[in-house]
C-alpha cells in the first residue's frame, strides 16, 4: 500500500461539481484530495474483501447473541424499542449497507476493525462514484479499482423489491445537510435505476396522524430509508410513535442495526471471537490490563469524545457531547502513517456483499469530520 501523487487538475473543483459533488471542501480546505492516491495490490484488496465478509458474518452472530441473551442494557437501548428490534430481526427486515473502518499496520500487514458504521455511514457517493470518475480522469480505463459499489447498490435494491411494503420507497435525511442529502439522493438514484418508485421527504417533514407516519400530502409511509441515527430517532418527540405505527413501517436501516452501530458490540465480538486476527481487544468500562488503549463512548459520532492512552497515560483526546451512556476500552491500533497524516480504510458491505473501499486521512490518529478522503487504484 503506497501513497502516490499526480499533477493536480487545476479545474478539479468544477470537474467534481459537474457530477454533483459539492462538498469537496470545508471552509476552503479540501475534504477531497485530488492530487494524492493510494496504490494497493490485488492481494491487499482480496484481504480487505475477506476480512469484511468474515466480520459481517461475525456481526450477524453477535446480533443473534445479544437478542437471545437480552443484553440490551449494555447498549442503553430504550425498553420500548426492544420488541421492535426483535421483530425487525425475526422478520429479516432489509438492510442495504454498512461500512467497516479498519486500521492497517504496514509492517505486519494486518487489518484490525476499529468499528462498524452500521446505521448511517456517509462517504458513499465519493466512494462509489467520485473516486471512480477520478480514476478515469487521471488513469486509463483499464486501471482497476476495488469498487463495485454502484452496481451492487442497484442489484441489492432490485433484490429487495419483492420484500418492500407499499408502492413508494421514501428517502429521508435532515434539512440543510448537504453531505447527507448528496448521499441520500445518490442512494435514491440507485433505487430508481433498480425500478423502484421513490420520493424524497425530510425527517423534519414526516408527520404522524395518530396511527401511522405520513408524508406532506397525508399518504401513509410504509417503507423509508433514513440517513438519520436510530439513537436520535428514539429520543425525538415521535420516538414512541415508532412502536405504535399501525403499518409497522419498514425502516432502512432496520432497528436491529442499533446493536451494530453501537460500540458496545465491540466487547461482545471480542468475547465471542477472542483473538480473531481482525479484531482488537475490547472491554466494557475498563482496560482490563491493557497498557495502550482507546476509550470510546458507546454512542458517539465523527470521532468525538475519544481518549487515547499509551502506557496508561492519556496522550490525545477529542471534544464532544457524548459519553453519558457509558464507554468501552479498545486496544490501541497501529494506523498506517504517511508524512501527510494517518489513514483509515473504510470497507463497504452492501446487500451482504463486500464491494469497495475508501481511505480517510487525518492529521491526528483519530478520524473526525475534518478528515480527508483519498481515492485509490489497484496496482497493475
Q: How many CB atoms lie within 10 A of CB 159?
A: 13
| pLDDT for 369 beyond 80 | no
Taking only the tens place, the pLDDT of each residue in 208-218 is 999 999 999 99
Q: What is the mean pLDDT of residues 357-367?
A: 92
Of 213, 199, 201, nearest in space to 247 by CA: 213
What is the pLDDT, as a whole number, of residue 366? Answer: 86
All cell numbers assigned to 335: 494506523
Please give the C-alpha separations between residue 297 and each of 4, 122, 264, 292, 307, in angstroms, as whole numbers: 35, 20, 9, 17, 9
List % helix, strand, coil for the chain (3-state, nearest 5). 30, 25, 40
Q: Where are the domains of the chain?
A: 2-262+335-378, 281-331
What is the pLDDT, as a whole number, of residue 6? Answer: 96
| pLDDT for 97 beyond 90 | yes
What is the pLDDT, as a whole number, of residue 302? Answer: 81
- The answer for residues whose C-beta is within 8 angstroms of residue 270's C-beta and 6 or more apart is 279, 280, 281, 282, 283
| pLDDT for 324 beyond 90 | no
Residue 152 contacts residue 355 (beta carbons within 8 Å) = yes
Taking only the tens place, the pLDDT of each residue in 194-208 is 999 999 999 999 999
User: Dihedral sign, CA of 131, 133, 138, 139?
Assistant: positive
What is the pLDDT, as a whole number, of residue 142? Answer: 87
What is the pLDDT, as a whole number, of residue 323? Answer: 81
User: Dihedral sign, CA of 69, 75, 80, 85?
Assistant: negative
pTM summary value = 0.95
279 pLDDT band, cuts 50/70/90, is very high
253 pLDDT band, cuts 50/70/90, is very high
Taking only the tens place, the pLDDT of each residue in 140-172 is 888 999 999 999 999 999 999 999 999 999 999
Q: What is the mean pLDDT of residues 49-60?
A: 98
Q: What is the mean pLDDT of residues 312-322?
A: 90
Mean pLDDT, the chain, rounded, equals 95
In angstroms, how far is CA 193 from the centroid of its own chain?
A: 23
Q: What is the mean pLDDT of residues 256-267?
A: 97
All cell numbers assigned to 110: 494486518
Q: What is the mean pLDDT of residues 304-322?
A: 91
What is the pLDDT, as a whole number, of residue 108? Answer: 83
Provide the 8-state DSSP code for 333.
P
Amino acid at each position: 500500500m503506497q501513497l502516490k501523487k499526480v499533477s493536480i487538475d487545476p479545474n478539479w473543483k468544477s470537474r467534481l461539481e459537474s457530477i454533483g459533488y459539492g462538498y469537496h471542501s470545508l471552509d476552503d480546505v479540501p475534504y477531497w484530495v485530488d492530487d494524492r492516491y493510494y496504490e494497493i495490490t490485488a492481494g491487499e484488496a482480496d484481504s480487505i474483501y475477506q476480512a469484511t465478509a468474515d466480520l459481517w458474518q461475525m456481526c450477524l452472530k453477535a446480533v443473534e447473541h445479544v437478542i437471545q441473551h437480552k443484553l440490551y442494557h449494555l447498549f442503553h437501548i430504550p425498553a420500548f424499542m426492544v420488541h421492535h428490534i426483535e421483530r425487525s430481526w425475526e422478520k429479516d427486515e432489509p438492510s442495504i449497507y454498512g461500512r467497516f473502518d479498519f486500521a492497517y499496520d504496514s509492517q505486519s500487514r494486518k487489518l484490525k476493525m476499529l468499528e462498524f458504521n452500521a446505521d448511517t455511514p456517509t462517504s458513499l457517493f465519493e466512494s462509489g462514484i467520485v473516486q471512480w470518475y477520478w480514476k478515469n480522469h487521471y488513469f486509463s480505463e483499464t486501471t482497476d479499482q476495488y469498487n463495485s459499489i454502484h452496481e451492487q447498490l442497484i442489484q441489492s435494491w432490485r433484490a429487495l423489491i419483492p420484500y418492500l411494503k407499499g408502492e413508494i420507497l421514501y428517502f429521508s435525511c435532515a434539512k440543510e445537510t448537504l453531505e447527507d442529502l448528496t448521499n441520500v439522493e445518490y442512494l435514491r438514484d440507485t433505487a430508481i435505476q433498480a425500478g423502484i418508485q421513490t420520493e424524497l421527504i425530510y425527517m423534519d417533514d414526516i408527520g404522524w396522524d395518530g396511527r401511522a407516519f405520513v408524508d406532506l400530502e397525508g399518504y401513509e409511509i410504509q417503507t423509508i430509508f433514513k440517513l438519520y441515527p436510530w439513537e436520535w430517532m428514539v429520543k425525538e418527540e415521535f420516538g414512541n410513535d415508532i412502536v405504535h405505527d399501525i403499518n409497522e413501517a419498514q425502516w432502512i436501516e432496520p432497528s436491529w442495526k442499533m446493536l451494530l452501530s453501537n460500540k458496545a458490540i465491540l466487547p461482545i465480538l471480542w468475547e465471542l471471537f477472542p483473538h480473531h486476527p481482525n479484531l482488537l481487544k475490547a472491554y466494557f468500562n475498563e482496560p482490563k490490563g491493557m497498557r495502550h488503549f482507546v476509550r470510546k463512548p458507546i454512542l458517539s459520532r465523527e470521532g468525538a469524545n475519544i481518549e487515547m492512552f499509551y502506557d496508561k497515560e492519556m496522550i490525545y483526546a477529542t471534544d464532544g457531547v457524548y459519553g453519558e451512556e457509558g464507554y468501552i476500552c479498545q486496544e490501541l491500533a497501529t494506523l498506517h502513517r504517511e508524512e501527510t497524516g494517518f489513514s483509515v480504510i473504510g470497507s463497504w458491505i452492501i446487500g451482504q456483499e463486500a464491494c469497495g473501499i475508501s481511505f480517510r486521512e487525518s492529521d491526528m490518529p483519530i478520524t473526525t469530520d475534518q478528515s480527508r478522503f483519498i481515492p485509490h487504484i489497484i496496482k497493475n
